[in-house]
Structure 1
């Protein structure tokens, strides 16, 4: 087995730092929202818009970001948008009015949409396909998941000093990453030799993704009216259909539709969306339970969810061994079954539960992330040509992001509908238990997709390599 140069591990450290930054940035803001509203006097709609603006920018531009990295150069795109991320995170810290926060979060989301797939494709083109790349991706995935979990704790601590530090801390971290990245990162391969830029395809797919994500966000607020929500979804699907028609005729398509003929890639993206839908929906419900029904502080809540970050340790240590021993398909299925058990155990949650009663679910969720996030990322990028690695990274990250938005919106809508006009702790607990069915169902569907992939794999060959697709 060839030895990976020390520089490559330095590159991985920088890119892991970037995905960790993206994770803690989202989680820290969620913790700081009540303090921001109290200080700036924001309405509930404006506060919700601060969160939605980031999701719209991230989810809307992710697919475009991945392809642009292939076309213009991954290093160039990563460094430029890391700088944009730094600047607009700082702008959010100086905000005195709601609209400034909206602009800052939207542009920060757009920056992350370009930066994240560029970073992932730098890993997949730096490390050779096989065990070395798998290990690198598993470390990267564990770091990403750890960022979301640790961000809750870090956000609670920073908010105690002042909510503006939730924006200023990423500025300092981004600056350190930028200083390290400039000498370490090298352009991997030549930019794609596409004969031109597919502007019509870029506009249609970006518009489609933004409308679809906005439609998902509107699900959280059924009181705003269903006709407009349905119209937003209809517009999104119409633009998506136009995008497909444009790509079929384009001489240099933004997305080569043939890439979607890969069953493993499609299954990996479906499982990615269902994974994050279940986790973010569950995280939101647990936060409601601990803070609103039990009266726990933000720091206590963050520490309670810290056990779910067990994947930070398991992903780089246990998961590579399991993947090498059993293959991605079986590991992913085992991870999703762990998550299914975690959510099933939590359905019986009560107002008198001790943390010891919650701990098994938290730990099992950490196991789920450790066994699913990294291997699914491997499957989504394995066997993809080097000049399309940015596109593959954009697809899988779009699935992760879209799933997170969908899960959060659906559990919110179900929780609100189940609660109705009822008040009190018992009513809140009953509504929460009903909404917990959403992450349970999402994980069950993910396990079914994984099982289908495993059956398809066993039918096509008696024996497959370790890195075989799911």
Structure 2
């Protein structure tokens, strides 16, 4: 992994201080760094298995979106109940990530990864064969629980299999690309499967894919765990899991019912209280679930903030543009999926470019460049109108914004996991994936509520449906671009300051 120092020819001569901290690992390598060793055939197969598991989970986030109306009619679920098809998965998948990431560190990442895959596949079968709403929602909740096991354990197996440096950057690049494109491909695949084979096939394909990965994973993966086998911090586990569950429930519900429903602010308040309690518990625990010094590491803090925001804002852009393409330009669900399918195809190219960019300019600069590109091209979407030809501009702007988004995803994963010992990789990757899951959950309800309020206001003022909808979408896109730009600036300052402090010639100001 390249170190976070300036190139040797730009550094003033200095004698390294005895107490200097190790440099942050996110800037360019020395000019004559040795070429990275190629991956072995076994390492490539391990990477394929781990990335396939992550891709399946990413598909599950969106594959049901266009199938919900058909599913509701088949199972007798009312419109108000359909949100639970999404929420039942989102609650456990986001709420238990940190807990299972830490359990994997202590009791075996391979064992837990295989257990999660088996649970996910079995739950997908239950959801596919569901005879009523209760069985279907139970299957979705168990899918979410399996995902909460698969994602952090898969990521920690990846980061402990591939050493820090070019190989890990390449592995994280492939994993990040598949995670992002899986969400987009899920929408296209869900529409095709629902139209041709019915909604149950969307759950069936996940079961088949899960079984396929489970069949080959045991022969490739080796066990790894924390050598000391410390105890699990039960109070910390209860408070952080309860806090995340409460926040995810509140935001998922607000996306459908709005923030005015009484249980939404109550759940938000409970979630915040539990997370504050979690910080207090962790500061006093002998063996905390989450090391507070780790959270205070600049790379962990700023990297996860950037990751949360890039996921939250891009998922919100996808939602707002889906509304724009279908409600303003009157595209069908299938053609809307094709627009995002183009974005997904080019995301693969972006994932190939990102590790090379990290090797050339460093993870920190790649992260900031990615956020800047995402912000600029999201802002460019403010110019869209009601002309049908706007679909081409949307396709191009979204594709370029997605390039920046993928650069940010891959580089923030590199930044957060750099310099973390193998014994805490499950925790580090649990934080990474928590940022991803929470970001996806937070972005849509917040910006959809903002857009919906603007649409209602314009409609009350006499604007037509298309004009009012366009006005709300523009407000949401503008807010989205501003948030990404602000976080890019804050991350640039925070990470640059941290990089200066790790230079050998750094002297703290008195």
Q: Name the TM-score class by shorter chain.
A: over 0.9
1:91 aligns with 2:132: no
Deviation string for 1:382-418 (max 9, x for gaps)?
A: 1011110000011111111111111011122112211
Q: Separation in 1 of the partners of 2:413 and 2:258?
A: 37
Larger radius of gyration: 2
Q: CA deviation at 1:210?
A: 0.4
Runs of 4+ with deviation above 6 angstroms: none
Q: Separation in 2 of the partners of 1:442 and 1:194?
A: 41
Q: After superposition, where does 1:275-286 map in structure 2 within 5 Å?
A: 275-286=310-321
What's 1:127 paired with? 162
Q: After superposition, where does 1:134-145 map in structure 2 within 5 Å?
A: 134-145=169-180
Q: CA deviation at 1:458?
A: 5.3
Q: CA deviation at 1:314?
A: 2.1
Q: Separation in 1 of the partners of 2:504 and 2:39?
A: 28
Change (3 A) 1:192 1:349: farther
Does structure 2 conserve the Cα–Cα contact (< 8 Å) formed by 1:278 and 1:438? no
Does structure 2 conserve the Cα–Cα contact (< 8 Å) formed by 1:145 and 1:312? no
Q: Unpaired segments of 5 or more residues in structure 1?
A: 465-470
Does structure 1 conserve the Cα–Cα contact (< 8 Å) formed by 2:416 and 2:432? yes
Q: CA deviation at 1:462?
A: 6.3
1:350 aligns with 2:385: yes
Structure 2 counterpart SS, 1:299? helix
Q: Residue 445 of structure 1: which of 461, 475, 486 is its match?
A: 486
Does structure 2 conserve the Cα–Cα contact (< 8 Å) formed by 1:198 and 1:253? yes
Q: After superposition, where does 1:259-408 map in structure 2 within 5 Å?
A: 259-309=294-344, 310-316=346-352, 318-354=353-389, 355-408=391-444
TM-score, with length taken from structure 1: 0.94
Does structure 1 conserve the Cα–Cα contact (< 8 Å) formed by 2:97 and 2:148? yes
1:18 aligns with 2:69: no
Q: Residue 37 of structure 1: which of 72, 76, 80 is its match?
A: 72
Deviation string for 1:290-325 (max 9, x for gaps)?
A: 223333222211110123222212212x11221111
Give the total of aligned pairs: 462
Q: Separation in 1 of the partners of 2:88 and 2:271?
A: 17
Q: Residue 118 of structure 1: which of 136, 140, 153 is its match?
A: 153
Q: Separation in 1 of the partners of 2:398 and 2:86?
A: 25
TM-score, with length taken from structure 2: 0.86
1:257 aligns with 2:292: yes
- Mean Cα displacement is larger for which, 85-94 or 303-312? 303-312
Q: Separation in 2 of the partners of 1:362 and 1:307?
A: 9
1:432 aligns with 2:473: yes
Change (3 A) 1:394 1:462: closer
Structure 2 counterpart SS, 1:42? coil
Q: Larger % of helix: which?
A: 1
What's 1:413 paired with? 449
Does structure 2 conserve the Cα–Cα contact (< 8 Å) formed by 1:329 and 1:453? no
Q: After superposition, where does 1:446-461 map in structure 2 within 5 Å?
A: 446-457=487-498, 459-460=500-501
Q: CA deviation at 1:231?
A: 2.2
Q: Separation in 2 of the partners of 1:303 and 1:315?
A: 20
Does structure 1 conserve the Cα–Cα contact (< 8 Å) formed by 2:83 and 2:256? no
Q: CA deviation at 1:173?
A: 0.7
Q: CA deviation at 1:457?
A: 4.8
Q: CA deviation at 1:215?
A: 2.1
Q: CA deviation at 1:227?
A: 4.7
Does structure 2 conserve the Cα–Cα contact (< 8 Å) formed by 1:53 and 1:105? yes
State the Cα RMSD in Å.
1.9
Q: Separation in 2 of the partners of 1:150 and 1:170?
A: 13
Q: After superposition, where does 1:66-215 map in structure 2 within 5 Å?
A: 66-161=101-196, 162-188=198-224, 190-215=225-250
1:220 aligns with 2:255: yes
Q: Residue 265 of structure 2: which of 207, 213, 230 is its match?
A: 230
Change (3 A) 1:407 1:180: same
- Mean Cα displacement is larger for which, 231-240 or 136-145? 231-240
Change (3 A) 1:70 1:192: farther
Q: CA deviation at 1:45?
A: 2.1
Q: Separation in 1 of the partners of 2:177 and 2:119?
A: 25
Does structure 1 conserve the Cα–Cα contact (< 8 Å) formed by 2:89 and 2:142? yes
